Amino acid sequence: MDWTAFGVSLRLAAWTMLLLVPAGVWLGRTLAYKRFPGRNLVEALFTLPLVLPPTVMGYYLLVAFGGQSFLGHV
C-alpha cells in the first residue's frame, strides 16, 4: 500500500477542517444572530445545494466557469 497518498489525504483533510470549521461557525453565528442587508441572499446561496440536484449545480458551475463566461477567462 502506498502510504504517501494516505498521508497527503490526511493532511488535506486536517487543513481543510482547520480552515473551514471556524469559517462555518462564524458564518452560522452571524446568520443566526445578526441582521444585515443581503442576509436573505446569503442564506439562499448556502441553501441552494440542499434543494437543487447535483446535476443542476454542476451545470450552473459549468456555465459560470466555462470558456465563454467572465470567470472562465480569469
pTM reported for the whole predicted model: 0.62
pLDDT over threshold 70, residue 74: no
Would you state the cell numbers that stand for residue 6, as one nine-digit string? 494516505
Q: Tens digits of per-residue pLDDT, 16-31? A: 999 999 999 999 999 9
Transcribe 33-45 into DSSP letters: H---TTHHHHHHH
Tell me the average pLDDT of the chain: 90
Please calculate the CA angle 64-68-74 and round it to the nearest 5 degrees: 70
Please give the residue that has the higher pLDDT: either 8 or 69: 8
DSSP, res 23: H
Residues 6+ apart with CB under 8 A from 46: 27, 31
